[in-house]
Amino acid sequence: MDLINFRVGQKTISLKILDILLTERFENNLTSLPNDNKSFIGVKDYMDTPTPIFDLGIILNNQSTDSINQSLITLLSSWESKAKQWFKALEKSIYDNTSFTMNTDIEQCDFAKWCEQFKTDNDDLNAILKRFNTPQTRIYEQAKHIISLQKKGMQSQAINEINSERNTHFMQLIRLFESAREQIILDYKPIIIFTTKDGSSPHIGLLVDKVEDNISYKKEDIKPLTKITETGFDIDPQTKSMMRGLIKLADKHSLLIDPSAIFRPAHLQHQKEEETEAYGLF
């Protein structure tokens, strides 16, 4: 059986090709309807059929990828603001010939620590974050040097050097913050997967981050999730009902899902046929 892999946050999910009718770019033009399901984000009129659209990020990660991205953008803006405050305080201490009481040790810099620990599958964002190290280290080293000049009574030279740092390495740092935020926005190009149960008409739409690749699987490639669910592992009922197993990829696993289990009429909620033999896994 052939599958297509999709990215949802830091997870990879797989759908059978036969379950997919079409994919299209998400334009944020859905019609809202009252609903208690937080993953339901609206209706799209597709092939003259009002089709419910669900956000897989909310189903699998408890929050949409867009929400995660916005939080990251806000965090980067906060780090940038702190960097500006730090440099402004350094400038003021040099111009006023007063003591600088903030940290000048790059090893103790909270943002540097955060960059080192932060994990993302966005390779371009990773590359940008690594570039922060050079200008930030340089600024901290120069801060110590400039403060030393000030203490030696060489205030004029200290002022010249702090101005030079502002126009070079500090501005480079600020541009990197801008680039990181832009990369987060540019990398997020969500799509809607229109799924089908009969091969011709839409069933539901699933919002995902991007298409990854195609794979083929055999029965033995599917690792059942029975052991996890039997131990009382806390999985949301909607998520649990659609999971069909794990597929081993090169360096990670993909979660095989059955989209027909996400949205069912009430009288089919307890039907098990689609969850076993009828789904073609056994």
DSSP letters, 44-77, are EEETTEEEEEEEHHHHHHSS-HHHHHHHHHHHHH
CB-hemisphere CA count at 13 Å for 272? 1
pLDDT at 240: 65
pLDDT at 250: 64
CB 255 within 8 A of CB 12: yes
- Percent of the chain at pLDDT > 70 equals 82
pLDDT at 116: 92
Provide the pLDDT confidence category of residue 26 given band limits of 50, 70 and 90: very high
Q: In a 3-state reduction of DSSP, which class is residue 95?
A: helix
pLDDT, tens digit, 9 for 90 and up, residues 214-233: 767 776 667 776 654 443 44
More confident site: 96 or 34: 96
pLDDT at 191: 95
Compute the C-alpha angle 119/131/175, nearest 5°: 110
More confident site: 42 or 276: 42
Take residue 4 and report the two structure tokens written for it: 């297509």
State the average pLDDT over residues 12-22.
88
More confident site: 50 or 1: 50
Q: Average pLDDT over the chain, rounded to whole? A: 84
Closest CA to 129 of 55, 65, 204, 181: 181
Least confident of 63-72, 135-144, 229-238: 229-238
pLDDT at 281: 36
pLDDT at 261: 73
List, in sequence order, every beta strand (DSSP E) within the chain: 2-8, 11-16, 20-25, 40-46, 49-55, 191-196, 202-208, 210-216, 222-223, 243-248, 253-257
The torsion angle over the Cα atoms of residues 81, 10, 189 and 116, rounded to 10 degrees, is 30
Asked whether residue 97 carries a pLDDT value surpassing 50, the answer given is: yes
State the average pLDDT over residues 109-128.
93
Round to whole Å and give the CA distance between 222 and 254.
10
pLDDT, tens digit, 9 for 90 and up, residues 190-216: 999 999 988 888 999 999 998 887 767
pLDDT at 274: 40
pLDDT at 241: 66
pLDDT, tens digit, 9 for 90 and up, residues 156-172: 999 999 999 999 999 99
pLDDT, tens digit, 9 for 90 and up, residues 246-257: 777 666 677 787
Least confident of 71-80, 125-134, 202-211, 254-263: 254-263
Structural domains in the chain, sorted by start: 2-63+190-279 (2.40.50.180), 66-187 (1.20.120)
pLDDT at 249: 67
**Whole-model pTM above 0.75?**
yes
Residue with tokens 């680039």: 179
The torsion angle over the Cα atoms of residues 250, 227, 265 and 22, rounded to 10 degrees, is 0
More confident site: 131 or 243: 131
